[in-house]
């Protein structure tokens, strides 16, 4: 009996570790208004076995959040990243600056944590190309405010994720279909 209980505990710990292992990660920048500068964060993409969903986990001291990534969202994000890369090459070649919207992402299921409670919501997002100057360019993801479905008085503010052009390859890889296919193969084995 004791061996059975120990085996179950070890097995549950193993499942927890698998569920918490990211498919991939990438770095992003967020604006910190307290110190008035961009700070680097690590964004993870996870597969949640019990609901069979893929989500992007964005850390935050007050409101960590998760955005569900379905195939439509993944594909649109990948296409916006590729569009950014084309504009980036043009900006460098032509020595120009751009400030333009690259496109809008589909509305996604999301949830954010406030204190110890997770609140479900939806999030709208879009991507922009922004030039600091003729040589320094950013891919910016805008996320709308997210009101809780159960209590409209609880809302996670909208925010932005910034990516320097040098770091865009990490983001592109994170949303490439090969990453998802590799992970799906691992879970099927």
Domain definitions of the chain by residue range? 23-188
> Is pLDDT at 21 greater than 90 in this prediction?
no
> Is pLDDT at 12 greater than 70 in this prediction?
no
177-188 and 71-94 are packed helices; what angle lies between their axes, rounded to 10 degrees? 150
CB count, 10 Å around CB of 99?
Answer: 9
Q: Are strands 22-32 and 37-48 parallel, antiparallel or unpaired?
A: antiparallel
Amino acid 5: pLDDT: 37
Which region among 16-25, 43-52, 57-66, 125-134 has the lowest average model confidence (pLDDT)?
16-25
10 Rama class: left (phi>0) / alpha (psi -120 to 50) / beta? alpha
Average pLDDT of span 14-43: 80
In which band, very low, low, confident or very high, does the pLDDT at 48 lie, cut at 50, 70 and 90? confident
Amino acid 66: pLDDT: 96
Average pLDDT of span 70-83: 95
Q: What is the pLDDT of residues 102-144, one digit of tens each?
A: 999 999 999 999 989 999 999 999 999 999 999 999 999 999 9
> Is pLDDT at 7 greater than 50 in this prediction?
no
Tokens for 109, please give them: 């299921």
- Separation of alpha carbons 19 and 33, rounded Å: 33
Average pLDDT of span 63-90: 95
> Is pLDDT at 55 greater than 80 in this prediction?
yes
Amino acid 11: pLDDT: 41
- Separation of alpha carbons 137 and 93, rounded Å: 13
């Amino acid at each position: 009996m004791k061996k059975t209980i120990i085996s179950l505990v070890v097995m549950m710990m193993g499942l927890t570790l698998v569920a918490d292992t990211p498919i991939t990660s990438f770095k992003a920048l967020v604006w910190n208004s307290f110190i008035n500068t961009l700070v680097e964060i690590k964004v993870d993409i996870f597969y949640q076995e019990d609901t069979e969903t893929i989500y992007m986990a964005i850390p935050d001291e007050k409101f960590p959040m998760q955005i569900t990534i379905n195939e439509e969202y993944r594909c649109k994000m990948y296409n916006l990243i590729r569009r950014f890369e084309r504009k980036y090459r043009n900006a460098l070649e032509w020595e120009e600056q751009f400030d333009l919207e690259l496109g809008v992402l589909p509305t996604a299921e999301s949830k954010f944590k406030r204190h110890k409670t997770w609140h479900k919501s939806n999030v709208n997002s879009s991507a922009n190309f922004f030039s600091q100057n003729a040589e320094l360019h950013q891919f910016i993801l805008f996320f709308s405010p997210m009101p809780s479905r159960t209590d409209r008085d609880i809302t996670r503010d909208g925010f932005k994720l910034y990516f320097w052009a040098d770091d865009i390859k990490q983001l592109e890889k994170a949303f490439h279909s090969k990453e998802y296919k590799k992970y799906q193969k691992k879970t099927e084995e």
